[in-house]
Amino acid sequence: MHEEVRKYANEKDVKGLKYIFVDALDVDPTFKKYQEDFDYCRQKGLFEPHCELSAMTSNTSSWDMTYWKTLKRNLLENFSEKRLNHMREVAKVIYADKIRRSQEVKTNVQPSKVEPNIQVPPSESVSVSPLPKGELAKKEAERVEKEKAELEEKNRRIREQEAEQKRQTAMRGGTTARKAYSSKKSKGTVPASALLAGVGVAVAVILYLILRK
């Protein structure tokens, strides 16, 4: 029995039961999966008194999908045992192919063959023994150490590259500063020899003027 049906039935939730049974025959046209659920609801007295909504016909030539959909709509409005039993008969007709295929599948399913128990001679048997736990732990530790060493080597190379880039940048900055200083000096600084020559000329002029007096 479906637990969901049991739950709705115990709670007297007729609306919930309607939505389960309205699709039950689409799922299983034979209704075998829902027979126990049906009996349980009937014992609980959960079916509603039958109310004629759309006329139900016994003429099987009128049993098509349009008629089927009408029955389903009416079941949602009036959850009667009479209507559901009629739907069970209609489902056998409109879902005849589905029922036939299901039965064919069950018939064609063969029991699995039991392979004979073949004894392998000891000389031909192959034994694959798993590694001891200690060996597994050792191999795992070696793998972790290897990965750790590779990571450290990678980080070391990155640090070296960064240091080299900083050194190259510093060297380029020092060269630029020296060039700027040399250019400034050549443009705005008077050589010492020129200054001395100027002083000598000034002294000679002053002595000449004093002796002339």
Instruction: Write down the pLDDT at residue 120.
Output: 47
Average pLDDT on 138-158 reads 76
Average pLDDT on 170-192 reads 62
86, pLDDT greater than 70: yes
Q: 3-state DSSP: the chain helix, strand, coil percent, rounded to 5?
A: 70, 0, 30
List CB contacts of 98: < 8 A, sequence separation 6 or more: 29
56, pLDDT greater than 70: yes
Instruction: Write down the pLDDT at residue 84.
Output: 96
Q: Which tops the pLDDT comparison, 190 or 177?
A: 177
Instruction: Write down the pLDDT at residue 105.
Output: 79
Average pLDDT on 79-102 reads 94
